[in-house]
């Protein structure tokens, strides 16, 4: 982490967990814990809880994120949620291209690209997820898979359009929800690779300022060593973000 160039971001992805009541309760607790925190904090509750949680976090150091979006502003798209609707209720971030969406709901590099474009048009910070599967890692395809995901996902954007906004999350699929964390050397290797890729496809300024988060079984007891890696600028946390107490100790990783 290089905090002079990049403010750390700790993001919680609540996935398909929590009723409105549970979400509001967790958010209230978290707001109390994080009153004076010097990192960016984001939580992404399920869609049903976004508006009520928005009320709880308004004016606090906890920002709101969506777990997905559709790229149209409105229309006959049953079951989808638009970036306009998300900005309207106070979302600042949108997680895009999470591996669970790629795996179960048909998100592709092309749809991910359209979603990132839509997010940027509506002042939502895209948290653009990339990562290789176990089979791809074993076949030594990690770098080529990531190259393709980044190149296609960010196709057509200028460095200026992404500057100060883009967040990349490296989430090795084999480490998500499995209790298996990538070793810190594996994490640093891939983060440095991703940063060099941003430099190659865009420029040095974007490479220096883009925040690259690690995700995959981040817990209170492994967050410090992960955050100490020079190219890790934050964490995208699933399971361990569901409890305000646990998530709070991740947020305070430097203590």
Catalytic residue among 100, 132, 171, 191: 171
Map the footprint of ligand PGA across residues 151-180, applying CB under 6 A.
Answer: 171, 176-177
The 8 Å CB, 24+ separation contacts for 219-226 are 219/181, 219/246, 219/250, 220/246, 220/249, 220/250, 222/181, 223/250, 223/253, 224/253, 224/254, 225/184, 226/181, 226/184, 226/187
Using rule CB under 6 A, residue 216 touches ligand PGA: yes
The number of CA neighbours under 13 Å toward the Cβ of 248 is 15
Between 95 and 206, name the residue whose CB sits nearer to ligand PGA.
Answer: 95
CB of 32 to ligand PGA, least distance (A): 23
Please tell me whether residue 217 binds ligand PGA under the rule CB under 6 A. Answer: yes
215 near ligand PGA, rule: CB under 6 A: yes
- 218 in contact with ligand PGA (CB under 6 A): yes
Task: Let me know if 185 is exposed, middle or buried by CB neighbors in 10 A (0-12, 13-18, 19+).
Answer: exposed
- With binding defined as CB under 6 A, does residue 96 bind ligand PGA? no
| Residue 67 sits in the site that holds ligand PGA (CB under 6 A) | no
Instruction: Let me know if 29 is a catalytic residue.
Output: no
Q: How many helices (H) and strands (E) does the chain have?
A: 12, 8
- 12 forms part of the interface with ligand PGA (CB under 6 A): no
The closest alpha carbon to 132, from 200, 96, 95, 186, belongs to 186
Nearer to ligand PGA, 163 or 222 (CB): 222
Quickly count: other Cβ atoms within 10 Å of residue 113's Cβ.
Answer: 20
In the annotation, is 55 catalytic? no
Q: Is 8 in the site for ligand PGA (CB under 6 A)?
A: no
Q: Which residues are catalytic?
A: 98, 171
Provide the binding-site residues for ligand PGA, judged by CB under 6 A. Answer: 13, 171, 176-177, 215-218, 236-240
């Amino acid at each position: 982490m290089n905090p002079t160039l990049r403010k750390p971001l700790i993001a919680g992805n609540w996935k398909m967990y929590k009723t409105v009541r549970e979400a509001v309760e967790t958010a209230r607790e978290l707001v109390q814990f994080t009153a004076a925190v010097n990192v960016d904090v984001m939580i992404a509750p399920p869609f049903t809880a976004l508006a009520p949680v928005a009320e709880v976090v308004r004016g606090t150091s906890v920002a709101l994120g969506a777990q997905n979006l559709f790229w149209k502003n409105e229309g006959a798209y049953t079951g989808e949620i638009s970036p306009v609707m998300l900005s309207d209720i106070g979302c600042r971030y949108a997680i895009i291209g999470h591996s669970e969406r790629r795996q179960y709901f048909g998100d592709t590099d092309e749809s991910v690209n359209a979603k990132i474009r839509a997010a940027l048009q509506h002042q939502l910070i895209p948290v653009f997820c990339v990562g290789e599967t176990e089979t791809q890692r074993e076949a030594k395809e990690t770098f080529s898979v990531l190259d393709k995901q980044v190149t296609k996902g960010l196709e057509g954007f200028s460095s200026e359009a992404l500057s100060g906004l883009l967040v990349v999350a490296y989430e090795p699929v084999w480490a998500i929800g499995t209790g298996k964390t990538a070793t810190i050397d594996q994490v640093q290797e891939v983060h440095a690779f991703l940063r060099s890729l941003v430099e190659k496809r865009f420029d040095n300024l974007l490479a220096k300022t883009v925040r690259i988060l690690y995700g995959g079984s981040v817990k209170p007891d492994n967050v410090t060593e992960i955050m100490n890696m020079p190219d890790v600028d934050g964490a995208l946390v699933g399971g361990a973000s569901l409890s305000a107490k646990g998530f709070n100790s991740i947020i305070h990783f430097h203590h």
